[in-house]
Structures are given as C-alpha cells and as structure tokens.
Amino acid sequence: MIPLTDLNSPSERLNLLNAKRQELMRPVFENPREHVLLSTRKLAQRLRVNSATAIRIVQSMGFESYKQFQRFLYELAIAQATSLDTISGTALTDSSPGAHAREALEQDIRNLQQLRTNLDFERVAALATRFHKAKRILLLGGDLAANLVGFLHYHLLLLGLPSVMATSAGEMLNLTRSAGRQDLTIAISFRRCLRETVEGMKQARANGAHCVAVTNTFVSPLARFANEFFVVSIDTPSFGLSYAAPQGLLDGIVAACGYCRPERNREFLEKAAEEQRKGFRWHPD
C-alpha cells in the first residue's frame, strides 16, 4: 500500500483509479464533510455499489484500511473548511456572545496543549541552526498569515539574521526566483493555502532552497511540496482562524534561535538594548 503522506492530494489518489471509479469517488473528495463519518455500508449505498466493491475502491487508491481513508477525508475537511463551516459547528446551547468568547479561548488552550504534546523540539532546535547558517531567510505568507510572517521577520532582524519577507504574489515570486541552495524558506498558509505562497515555495525549492511549511494539515499543498513541515491547529468556533498555536510555534522557534548561538546573539541584543533604553522611538517619560 502507498503511505498516506506520499499521495496527499485527492487528484493523485483519484488518478490511481479507472475513469468510471474516478467519477464515483470525485464527489466524496469534493465534499469530505458529508462522507467522513459514513460507515463502509453507508458509503457503498452512496456510491451505489456493494460494500466489497467500496473497500476495493478505497484500497485501489492506496489506503491500507477504511479507517485510514476516513482519516484522509477528515484532513481534507479541515483543509476545505470555510468561515461559515466553523461558526456553524458550535455545540453551545448558550448562544450569548460571552459564552462564545469563552469557547473560543478554551479552544485556543486546547490548540496550544496539542502543540506542546506533539511538537518535536529537537526539530525546532535543528531549524534554529539552519536559521543561523542560511545565507538568506525567505519568509512567505499572505493575507492574514502576513501577520505571522511580520512577527518572525521582526525577531530575526533583532538577532541580525538575514531575513527577507514577502506578503504579496509579486513579492513572493520575485523573491524566490533568486533563491539558492544556501537559502532557507519558511512558508506559512492554512486550509487550502494561498496560491502565491505555494507557488513561491515551489519555486524556491526548485532553485535548491530548503523549504519549511507551517500549515494546519498534512494534506495541504504546502505540506506536500515542502522539504519539511509543521502542522499546527487553527481550530476555532469563531468565524476566523485561531493563531494561538501558530504563534506558539513561532515563539518556540524565536526562542531556539536566540539560544542557538548565545554569545553571538548577545552582541546584537546589547546594541538593541541601548536603543531600547535611549532610542528616539520611545516616549521619554
């Protein structure tokens, strides 16, 4: 069987089937939320085949089991979620704004706990080493993710690291066109991912840069095309995205970068401290 992480896009899975079976399964991948909880028998009824045929179709797409197939649908549902989906999914009986605010904060805490449990801190340490060795650090992220890119960019500059950020389609494509083997690319996007972020990272990788994705599901385009990726939850009962976990991941990366080469970093931070104490940017009182 084909490992789940080797063929992460629905089109790649569908291409393993003949034309007739592709047409049967296409609606399932286009509407994963409607099919993810179906039993084998229920799915077979939807497809108008018997249960044995449904299992053979699932296996023909490279899934080891029906449970693995359901997990793939679950990840697809996460990737395809919209603001309407998230705000419609709350189970609260108390519909007051305060109750929903509490629910959102409680979900943020769960997202952070999940990050703390699942994050490989040795990978974070290894990435911090790459930050210090890179000729350039290319940070890609548009739309709301531009805020995360800006946060990371600011802290890398504080350490004197060669960070360059791009938050629009033109900036990303122009920046990554000159990427090279000594460069490190960090691309941030969630759900289905912005086209420009994916294309920028693909171009950087084609030019030899080491590419790291920050996203919320392993079936996202960023995860498929990166050298390595970090998955963080953006789950929220609200209409937006929760950036508590992505921000937590970046906080960890910044901390690791700060302690990766402490003597070298201290020199830069001493200069920054002088400006922070007496610089013109700060109010005198």
Q: What is the pLDDT of residues 77-103, one digit of tens each?
A: 888 877 676 666 666 666 788 888 898
Domain-embedded: residue 21 = yes
Mean predicted confidence (pLDDT) in 108-114: 95
> Above 80 in pLDDT, residue 163?
yes
Residue 98: predicted pLDDT: 86
CB 57 within 8 A of CB 24: yes
Domain-embedded: residue 102 = no
> Above 70 in pLDDT, residue 273?
yes
According to DSSP, the β-strands at 184-188 and 137-140 are parallel
CA distance 93 to 105: 17
> Based on the domain organization, do 68 and 126 belong to the same domain?
no
> Based on the domain organization, do 199 and 72 belong to the same domain?
no
CA distance 241 to 232: 12
The amino acid occupying position 83 is S
CA distance 44 to 173: 45
> Based on the domain organization, do 176 and 259 belong to the same domain?
yes
> Above 90 in pLDDT, residue 138?
yes
DSSP 141: -
- What's the pLDDT band for 1 if we cut at 50, 70, 90? very low
Domain around 68: 10-80
> Based on the domain organization, do 68 and 120 belong to the same domain?
no
Q: Which residues contact 73 (CB under 8 A, 6 or more apart)?
A: 28, 29, 32, 35, 36
Helix, strand or coil for residue 272?
helix
> Based on the domain organization, do 146 and 30 belong to the same domain?
no
Query: In the predicted model, what is the mean pLDDT of the chain?
Result: 89
> Based on the domain organization, do 130 and 21 belong to the same domain?
no
Residue 152: predicted pLDDT: 98
**Tokens describing residue 68:** 């693995």
CA distance 255 to 131: 12
CA distance 199 to 196: 5
CATH of the domain at 227: 3.40.50.10490
CATH of the domain at 21: 1.10.10
Residue 66, φ and ψ in degrees, nearest 5: -65, -35
Q: Which residues contact 140 (CB under 8 A, 6 or more apart)?
A: 149, 165, 166, 167, 172, 175, 176, 185, 186, 187, 188, 197, 200, 201, 204
> Based on the domain organization, do 151 and 268 belong to the same domain?
yes
> Above 70 in pLDDT, residue 3?
no
pLDDT by residue (tens digit) across 206-264? 999 999 999 999 888 899 899 999 999 999 888 888 999 999 999 999 999 999 888 88
CB 248 within 8 A of CB 119: no
CA distance 257 to 251: 10
Residue 86: predicted pLDDT: 67
Q: Which residues contact 235 (CB under 8 A, 6 or more apart)?
A: 86, 107, 110, 111, 242
Mean predicted confidence (pLDDT) in 48-68: 92
* Total of domains in the chain: 2
- pTM higher than the cut 0.75: yes
> Based on the domain organization, do 74 and 141 belong to the same domain?
no
Residue 2: predicted pLDDT: 44
Domain-embedded: residue 87 = no
> Based on the domain organization, do 152 and 198 belong to the same domain?
yes
